[in-house]
Amino acid sequence: MATAEEVAKAAERRDVRDRWLLSAPALLVILFAATGPLLIVLVYSFLTPGAYGDVKWQFSSDAWTSVFLERDIFDDTLSLAAAHVTIFWRSIKLAVVTTLATLALGFPTAYFMATRSEKTRDLWLFLITIPFWTNLLIRTFAVLQIIRNEGIVNTILLKLGIVSAPVQILYTDTAILIGMAYVYLPLMVLPIYASMEKLDFRLVEAGYDLYATRFKVLRKIIFPLVKPGVIAGSILVFIPALGAYVTPSVLGGGKNMMLSNLIELQFGQGRNWPLGSALSITVMIIVMVALLAYVRNAGKSGVRHG
Amino acid sequence: MPDKPDRNAIEVVNVSKIFGSGEGQVAALDKVSVSIRENEFFTLLGPSGCGKTTLLRLIAGFDFPTAGGILLYGHDIAPLPPFKRPVNTVFQSYALFPHMTVADNIGFGLEMLGKPKAEIKARVAEMLKLVKMEALAGRRTGQISGGQQQRVALARALAPQPKVLLLDEPLSALDYKLRKEMQIELKRLQHETGITFIFVTHDQEEALTMSDRIAVMSSGKILQVGSPWDIYDKPAERFVADFIGETNFLTAAISGVGNGKARATLKSGTTIEATVAEGFQPKDNATVVVRPEHAKLTKDKGDLSGTVENIVYFGTDTHIHVQLDSGEAFTVRQQNTRSAGCGFERGDKVGIMIGNDAAQVLRD
């Protein structure tokens, strides 16, 4: 006769086994689709570039050195790789500005949506998600059509006599910003809306009742309560914005290189896969550090729900 | 009735509030006028949808009247936003800020008024003591019970020392025992702070036990304003009589009106004395109300006669339903004693005695 303890132990063993069995598919996907490729990238970054792309299986830390430094071709001295630093800085700046721009546009939009009646809310939600139905490239070209010199904006400005010559927006950083803000706006609106929809607007009334002006209510009550949505939205926008490829290529005209273009270059014409790999990992590290700092900072004064 | 100064804290003058427009428009308030005296516990009583909460929200400033004015100590506050009115609200849902501690919630109003930190701290401590919540000052509002949240909501609304405190069915979410406790607590708070309370409820018992004066509302109108005694004993209209407590309605011909009294000739032919409002014109087809506890059942011939239909035991008293010979129904409430039974049986022929001051003639 098995004692109660033995039975319990056997049951627990079965339980553990079943748990592994059931989570196996998910673990396999994570291993082969996420961790695996990342490991390959990591390994490649420590190898020597092959003459026609690919890698030679020979250890080298050159790729990592040249992420931020460059070796003089004559005397082998190392100096700061100004081009890379510029590109990193430009990309980070653009990602931050895009995040701020989408936040500035998305927050009022989400507030507007959340304060509509239940029926109209669904309509607004539907309208916000419409852009997702169209390919990113097509949406970007649509923006291009609007802001180019012969586009809608310039035509109207010329007709109204506000400007005498078309304003050059296309192929500038402004164009990239407009495009990115447009493309990533839904990613900001949706999480904020999700938070805002749960907001008890009676709290807003309570705020007004207790002598808080509209601005104070926004700052002291609404914002702290929808902060989780703001954080989620910012993360969802910042990450793809930092690695954006299509929008900067089309609207920036390839004049101002972005991180994504730089990485693509290493795997293409540059034939330097290790450097491309090292750059990719560097971007990942930047994103992770930025996110950790952001979340920790936001959480400090933040809300604990529940 | 205790003496109250005759100064008015709030005057509502001819206020109408219409929601929606065109075909779908609803008049939530229809030319309502009422004066609320300084320092009084004033209750707006009525069924849901009668406009009582709308009136409270107009005074608080969450909605604006379609027509009419709202005066606070003589100043028209109707166009002011809520944060410019020295009036605070205790919400039905409490609406405590979940991202703040109990103390921060209570101090919020003072902070928004730009009071110095030391003053806020002292006042918050005072408020915590007033509602007996000192021990939980540092808790988040999600970590305290419903009754405690209720106290915090009260303290938060009282902290800025409003001219008038508005209470929107604040006890409706509490269980029976806690509600009874809070009723006494509220009366104590009102007495200690000396602030004018405007209390909204649909619970007639709550209104009767707590209020100095009650305004009974129905369909966007105030039907009667008076002390709990007035409202209960001298209802002016059928709705008021019906909504508050249980009552018997009798058809009667009214004659000999004068000095607040009248002769009411009932269907049975008996004439009784009834109280009547000033200026009532004698008529044949009026309604007289008699509270069940103000009538007495007898085996002899009474003012009315009928047959016992049903006997319902309530512990403290027994309700005896009588079918009158005139066809009307009448209920008598009889205080119970420890001797078994109420002395009557179903089917008994009985008489009903109506006291000298028991009947009231309705306005309609």
Task: Enter the ipTM.
Answer: 0.82
Same domain, A174 and A132: yes
Contact A193, A113 (CB under 8 A): yes
Q: Which of B93, B113, B142 sits opposite A202 (nearest CB)?
A: B93
Cβ neighbours of residue B286 under 8 Å, at least 6 residues apart? B251, B252, B253, B254, B264, B361, B362
Distance from CA of B276 to the nearest CA of A (A): 43
Q: Report pLDDT for A299.
A: 64
Q: Report pLDDT for B24.
A: 80
Within 8 A of B140 by CB-CB distance, chain A residues are 304
A306 within domain boundaries: no
**Nearest-CA residue of chain A relative to B90?**
A206
Among residues A79, A107, A126, the one where a domain terminates is: A79
Q: How many CB atoms lie within 10 A of CB B159?
A: 26
Q: Which of A210, A225, A303 sits opposite B88 (nearest CB)?
A: A210
Interface probe, candidates A195, A202, A211, chain B, greatest B C-beta count within 10 A:
A211
Contact B224, B235 (CB under 8 A): yes
**Nearest-CA residue of chain A relative to B108?**
A210
A206 within domain boundaries: yes
Q: Report pLDDT for A3.
A: 82
Same domain, A146 and A91: yes
Within 8 A of B109 by CB-CB distance, chain A residues are 210-211
Inter-chain contact B156–A224, Cβ cutoff 8 Å?
no
A87 within domain boundaries: yes
Inter-CA distances, B304 with A271, B311, B332, B334, Å: 111, 18, 12, 17
Distance from CA of A228 to the nearest CA of B (A): 12
Structure tokens that stand for B76 in this block: 């028209």
Q: Does A304 touch chain B (CB under 8 A)?
A: yes
Q: Report pLDDT for A305.
A: 43
Report the alpha-carbon distance of residue B89 to residue B68 in Å, rounded.
22
Interface probe, candidates B57, B93, B112, chain A, greatest A C-beta count within 10 A:
B112
Cβ neighbours of residue A68 under 8 Å, at least 6 residues apart? A80, A81, A84, A85
Digit-coded pLDDT (tens) for A204-262: 999 999 999 999 999 999 999 999 999 999 999 999 999 888 888 889 887 778 889 89
Inter-chain contact A221–B112, Cβ cutoff 8 Å?
no
Print the domain residue range for A159. 81-300
Residue pairs spanning A and B at CB distance below 8 A: 65
Contact B213, B219 (CB under 8 A): no
Report the alpha-carbon distance of residue B301 to residue B297 in Å, rounded.
10
Contact B336, B318 (CB under 8 A): yes
**Nearest-CA residue of chain A relative to B81?**
A208
Q: Which single residue is written with the structure tokens 């390839």?
A: A254
Total domain count for chain A? 2
Inter-chain contact B83–A209, Cβ cutoff 8 Å?
yes
A28 within domain boundaries: yes
The 3 state secondary structure assigned to chain B is: CCCCCCCEEEEEEEEEEEECCHHHCEEEEEEEEEEEECCCEEEEECCCCCCHHHHHHHHHCCCCCCEEEEEECCEECCCCCHHHCCEEEECCCCCCCCCCEHHHHHHHHHHHCCCCHHHHHHHHHHHHHHCCCHHHCCCEHHHCCHHHHHHHHHHHHHCCCCCEEEEECCCCCCCHHHHHHHHHHHHHHHHHHCCEEEEEECCHHHHHHHCCEEEEEECCEEEEEECHHHHHHCCCCHHHHHHCCCCEEEEEEEEEEECCEEEEEECCCCEEEEECCCCCCCCCCEEEEECHHHEEEECCCCCEEEEEEEEEECCCEEEEEEEECCCCEEEEEEECCCCCCCCCCCCCEEEEEECCCCEEECCC
Inter-CA distances, B179 with B102, B205, B213, B354, Å: 21, 12, 20, 35
Residues 23-62 of B with CB under 8 A from A: 60-62
Cβ neighbours of residue A205 under 8 Å, at least 6 residues apart? B62, B82, B89, B91, B95
Q: How many CB atoms lie within 10 A of CB B230?
A: 16
Walk along chain A (306 residues) and give the pLDDT tens digit of each residue. 678 888 889 888 888 889 999 999 999 999 999 899 999 999 999 999 988 878 889 998 888 988 888 877 777 778 888 888 999 999 999 999 999 999 999 999 999 999 999 889 999 999 998 888 889 999 999 999 999 888 888 889 899 988 888 888 888 888 999 999 999 999 999 999 999 999 999 999 999 999 999 999 999 999 999 999 999 999 999 999 998 888 888 898 877 788 898 999 999 888 899 999 999 999 999 889 988 888 887 765 544 443
Same domain, A235 and A283: yes
Report the alpha-carbon distance of residue A67 to residue B152 in Å, rounded.
58
Same domain, A54 and A173: no
A305 within domain boundaries: no
Q: Report pLDDT for B5.
A: 53
Residues 77-116 of B with CB under 8 A from A: 81-84, 87-89, 91, 93, 95-99, 108-109, 112-113
- Interaxial angle between packed helices A259-267 and A82-114, expressed in degrees from 0 to 180 and rounded to the nearest 10: 130
Q: Which of B95, B140, B157 sits opposite A205 (nearest CB)?
A: B95
The sign of the CA dihedral A208, A212, A214, A218 is: negative
Digit-coded pLDDT (tens) for A86-102: 999 999 999 999 999 99
Q: Report pLDDT for B82.
A: 94
Inter-chain contact A202–B91, Cβ cutoff 8 Å?
yes
Same domain, A60 and A143: no
CATH number at residue A266: 1.10.3720.10
Within 8 A of B81 by CB-CB distance, chain A residues are 208
Inter-chain contact B91–A205, Cβ cutoff 8 Å?
yes
Inter-chain contact B83–A211, Cβ cutoff 8 Å?
yes
Same domain, A60 and A91: no
Inter-chain contact B89–A202, Cβ cutoff 8 Å?
no
The edge-to-edge listing of strands for the beta sheet with B8-19 is: B26-37, B8-19, B67-72, B75-76
Among residues A23, A58, A79, the one where a domain terminates is: A79
pTM, entire model: 0.80
Same domain, A45 and A129: no
Residues 181-240 of A with CB under 8 A from B: 200, 202-203, 205-213, 216, 220-221, 224-225
Report the alpha-carbon distance of residue B316 to residue B337 in Å, rounded.
8
A181 within domain boundaries: yes
Same domain, A261 and A112: yes
Same domain, A66 and A133: no
Inter-chain contact A203–B160, Cβ cutoff 8 Å?
no
The DSSP secondary-structure symbol of A218 reads I
Report the alpha-carbon distance of residue B166 to residue B90 in Å, rounded.
6
Same domain, A216 and A200: yes
**Nearest-CA residue of chain B relative to A202?**
B95
Contact B222, B248 (CB under 8 A): no
Same domain, A220 and A140: yes
A230 within domain boundaries: yes
Q: Report pLDDT for B27.
A: 87
A266 within domain boundaries: yes
Q: Which domains does chain B have, with CATH numbers?
A: 8-233 (3.40.50.300), 246-361 (2.40.50.140)
Q: Which of A206, A224, A225 sits opposite B95 (nearest CB)?
A: A206
**Nearest-CA residue of chain B relative to A303?**
B99
Distance from CA of B330 to the nearest CA of A (A): 46
Report the alpha-carbon distance of residue A41 to residue A35 in Å, rounded.
10
Amino acid letter, residue A260: S
Q: How far out from the chain centre does Cα A179 lie?
A: 14
10-residue mean pLDDT profile of chain B (364 residues): values are 68 92 85 94 93 94 93 92 94 93 95 94 93 90 90 94 94 86 89 93 92 94 94 91 91 86 86 85 87 89 89 89 90 84 84 87 83
Same domain, A55 and A185: no
With 0-12 / 13-18 / 19 or more C-beta atoms within 10 angstroms meaning exposed / middle / buried, residue B96 is: buried
Q: Which of B62, B88, B95 sits opposite A203 (nearest CB)?
A: B95
Strands B271-275 vs B261-266: parallel, antiparallel or unpaired = antiparallel
Among residues A61, A79, A97, the one where a domain terminates is: A79
Q: Does A34 touch chain B (CB under 8 A)?
A: no
Inter-chain contact B89–A221, Cβ cutoff 8 Å?
no
